[in-house]
A and B are shown apart, each in its own frame.
Chain A
Amino acid sequence: MSLAEYQRVPTIAAHDYESSFARKLERMWETRPGLIGWLGTVDHKEIGIRYIVTAFVFLILGGIEALIMRVQLAQPNEHVLTPEQYDQLFTTHGMTMIFLYSMPVLSGFSNYLWPLILGSRDMAMPRLNALSYWVYLCSGIFMYAGFVVGAGPNAGWFNYPPYSSATFNPGFNIDIYALGMVLFGISTTVGGINFMVTALRARAPGMSINRLPILIWGTLTASAGNLLAVPSVSLAFLMLWMDRRLGTHFFDAASEGQPLLWQHLFWIFGHPWVYAIVLPAMGMVSDGLPVFCRRPLVGYSAVALATVITMVIGFGVWVHHMFATGLPNLGLSFFSAASLVIVIPSAVSVFAWTATIWTGRVVFTSAFMFYASFIVLFVIGGVSGFMTASVPVDWQLTDTYFGVAHLHYVLIGINVFPVVGALYFWFPKMTGRMLSERLGRWNFWTMFIGFNLAFFPMHIVGLLGMPRRIYTYPTDYGWNTNNMIISIGAFLFAIGVALLIANIAISLRRGRVAGPNPWDAPTLEWATPSPPPPYNFVVIPTVASRHPLWEDRLNESTCESSIRTGAELDNDKEAIAVTALDAEPDVILKMPHDTVLPFLLSLCLTALFVGMAALTWWLVVAALVAGAVIAVAWLWPRAALGQTAETA
């Protein structure tokens, strides 16, 4: 047996998307009709769109929760909500936005876009991709199950024990949240592994790491961060659940447990997570903004490096969430300094974006407006973060509305605005139709004005001393006017989101037909038809620069990318893997067909966590056994996938 028997020289040819060759690929790659096909699809585009739609459903749920809270807080001494209802709402709102919306929506874009941008036919592990989506959906439903029956989490999204312990919070509210977070962590981890392997392996030949678009750097960095950070929070939530239900004593001060251990584990995760939910969004701006400035991004290498460095430093700043917990001042000084230093890589990106606009020629579009305004919101969220990095100032700012303002400028400014910009930018690719630009302007201005009206005054009311997480406030603290403005702004912002949804609904049917490259953008996804066929690329492209579709106009490289001519790879579902750094062709991958196994495994995992929540041990055992059987079936070596000794 020698390697030669398993080798092949790929056929190089030129085909277009109308050819009989393309139809042959289509038959191989397309998702089968019917329910089984729907549950079994492993197409990254299908999965990506499911991720985005599901995340938007959670965004809307979280938004409705916020609006109800803003009615309660519009005036002092309101009685719209009981304190318990308010507590469940603000906790569920945080859980929804920070976990069920922010990361998954970016995973959705990355899932959809990565193989297209990388010049590949799918993610490296399509079945794992399906699993990560199904587990995400199940965990979202699981985490909402308590809220729906009036027992939602109520201890704040960071859930500090002892308040979240069984002694002070005996209902199953916290159990659902704790176990749901572990389940959600599985989804994030599985997705992260897939992104890592895809970035390192499943790229077009020639796309060496110095040619990766910044979105790839962003999601890659986020995924690496998640793989190292998510275990911390999963472990913390599992330990909390064991404290609550199995009698351990990790966080229970009455038995020498340490409430502060929770805070360490939570924030060791929490801070990298913040970067994980903004870096891919920043990447989308870094790739999209230059298209509307008709030039490449200023300082590509600096921005890519800044992306990675942000995450690295991000692992060393978690204590700045704990400045007031009584830790020694020497330690606080170190974390204060690290938190100030992390401003520098962020500033690199801000100056790069601004310079890109300044030196470029602006094409006004809705996507551009979301991207450009994002820079300003990023700066505001950044400087308020800079203030909280200073220990003595943070002793005042922390746990006031100033912090609430800061985190919303970060999460909405640096996640939602780029995401909406990205929708305007990539919607034509996903659907083949343009979103309405006119409705887009209305959409932009309502969201932008509503957002600033809702969240800028939070800085002020925070400086006036309003603590966060209070269900009502007295009349005589000078907080009334600002709170009214905040509530009005929140509703205006909600109208903006509604306009976006209206635009999507209308344009899906009546939008202008887009064509493959409506923005005349430089990256590979725009070389495919809109929407792209199931196999993405009719032949595997070969890349010779950072901007394959602008090469003729930029003259950056002596080489030329080859997009119409490339490897056919039509011996059943096939893709190519390359070496990690230089992107030399390495191996022809046999890609799996659709299968319901990921869906079934996600059901087993959910059953496992339902069993744990209900303390029903037979269900736990049954779910584990069934899950193991499915996993073995999944991994069983198959000749068709080139996993056994047989030659295909």
Chain B
Amino acid sequence: MTDVSLERVPLPVGSIGRRATGWWAMLFIVATEAAIFAYLLFSYYFFAIQPHSAPWPPGGPPEMKLALPNTIVLLASSGVVWWGEQGIRRGRSRRLALALLIAFVLGAIFVGVQFLEWSHKTFSFSSGVFGSLYFTITGFHMAHVAVGLVVLLVMALWSALGCFNAVRHAAISTGTLYWHFVDVVWLAVFFTFYITPRIG
């Protein structure tokens, strides 16, 4: 006999929530992606603590009037996605699809406002180290948002097609985990570029 046994144990078959392989994989994708952002921000702080010949950031701490509401929009999208996921846990497929579409719209607004913010900058990608850092780091984040938008849209499509129910929705658990990550990591980026110049 063994200390663990398969005899007479009913086991779920296939992808079920956090028992799904994909969900576990997403955990590690998030870990390695988080590491990328950690190194990006490490690079920023590496420069921030060096002596500067010109004001850092150029033109003083960046304006909050677009970035702060935009941050709230992005966080709201996470909330909406969470609401949708709670829905599918009770089998509400339409609520999920609706939530994913709303989150998509909020994410798209974030991208639009971010482009607006970029267009107002007096520095560019290649004008100096700060510009390189700012556009690379926010650009990296934007690329993640863009991927996230595709994920949201595809998940909305699958929900609308009725792929999922209260038990089978591992793809949703996995995809929303990614979107939450994209939103949370923005807080680190936001804190770095918009808050630290004001406190240090």
Contact = CB atoms under 8 A, between A and B. Distances in A.
- Asked if the two chains touch in their complex, CB atoms less than 8 Å apart, one says yes
B36 A231 contact: yes
A590 B24 contact: no
Nearest to B124: A247
B167 A1 contact: yes
A622 to B, nearest CB: 16
Given A12-B6, A205-B4, A255-B128, A642 B25 contact: no
Given A12-B7, A228-B31, A258-B46, A589 B2 contact: no
Contacts of A246: 125-126
A577 interface: yes
A311 to B, nearest CB: 14
A628 B154 CA distance: 11
Interface in A247-285: 247-250, 255-258, 261, 264-265, 268
A446 to B, nearest CB: 41
In this complex, which of A124, A229, A635 has the most chain B Cβ atoms within 10 angstroms of its Cβ? A635
Interface residues of B, number: 58
Contacts of A264: 42, 46
Contacts of A585: 4, 6, 9, 11
A268 B163 contact: no
B13 A588 contact: yes
Contacts of A562: 2
A393 interface: no
Interface string B1-24: 111111111111111100101101
Interface string B82-113: 00000000010000000000000000000000
B28 A205 contact: no
A1 B88 CA distance: 11
Interface residues of A, number: 82
B115 interface: no
Contact of A643 (B10, B15, B19, B39): B15
Interface string A144-164: 000000000000000000000
A445 B36 CA distance: 45
B176 to A, nearest CB: 14
Interface in A564-594: 566-567, 571, 574, 576-577, 582-590
Given A248-B125, A642-B15, A643-B170, A227 B47 contact: no
A641 B14 contact: yes
A227 B28 contact: yes
A561 B2 contact: yes
Contacts of B21: 124-125, 197, 201, 577, 589
B67 interface: no
A560 B5 CA distance: 11
Interface in A122-170: 124-125, 128
A362 B155 CA distance: 59
B13 A6 contact: yes
B88 to A, nearest CB: 10
Nearest to A261: B46
A410 B47 CA distance: 34
Contact of A258 (B14, B50, B164, B168): B50
A618 B118 CA distance: 24
A586 B14 CA distance: 11
B19 A577 contact: yes
Contact of A7 (B1, B11, B53, B128): B11
A583 B126 CA distance: 53
Contacts of A4: 10
Contacts of B2: 205-206, 542-544, 559-562
Interface stretch (A188-196, A300-308, A345-353, A400-408): A188-196
In this complex, which of A230, A574, A644 has the most chain B Cβ atoms within 10 angstroms of its Cβ? A644
A402 to B, nearest CB: 30
Contact of A589 (B5, B14, B52): B14
B134 to A, nearest CB: 11
Nearest to B35: A231
Contacts of A637: 158, 163-164, 171
A7 B163 contact: no
Contacts of A193: 25, 28-29, 32
A235 B36 CA distance: 7
A330 interface: no
B162 interface: yes
A632 interface: yes
A134 B123 CA distance: 41
Interface in B165-187: 165-168, 170-171
Interface in A171-199: 189, 192-194, 196-197
A10 B158 contact: no
A192 B24 CA distance: 12
Interface string B133-164: 10010000000000000100010001000111
A3 interface: yes
Contacts of B35: 227-229, 231-232
B142 to A, nearest CB: 14
B141 to A, nearest CB: 13
A200 interface: yes
Contact of A1 (B129, B136, B165): B165
A255 B124 CA distance: 14
Interface string B38-63: 11101100110010110000000000
Nearest to B165: A645
B43 A582 contact: no
B132 interface: yes
A9 B8 contact: yes
A540 interface: yes
Contact of B14 (A194, A234, A544, A643): A643
A249 B129 CA distance: 5
B31 A227 contact: yes
B125 A128 contact: no
A542 B12 CA distance: 18
Contacts of A542: 2, 4-6
B157 to A, nearest CB: 9
Nearest to B90: A1
B50 to A, nearest CB: 7
In this complex, which of A125, A230, A268, A589 has the most chain B Cβ atoms within 10 angstroms of its Cβ? A589
Given A9-B9, A193-B29, A559-B2, 13 more contacts: A206-B3, A228-B31, A242-B136, A249-B129, A255-B129, A582-B4, A587-B11, A587-B19, A588-B13, A589-B14, A635-B154, A641-B15, A644-B168
Q: Which A-B residue pairs are the 9 nearest by beta carbons? A: A642-B14, A247-B126, A248-B132, A206-B4, A645-B165, A231-B36, A544-B2, A231-B35, A587-B19
27 contacts: A5-B167, A6-B13, A10-B11, A193-B25, A194-B25, A196-B24, A197-B28, A205-B2, A231-B35, A235-B43, A250-B43, A250-B129, A255-B129, A257-B129, A258-B47, A264-B46, A265-B39, A265-B42, A559-B1, A559-B2, A560-B2, A567-B6, A585-B4, A585-B9, A586-B11, A589-B21, A635-B154
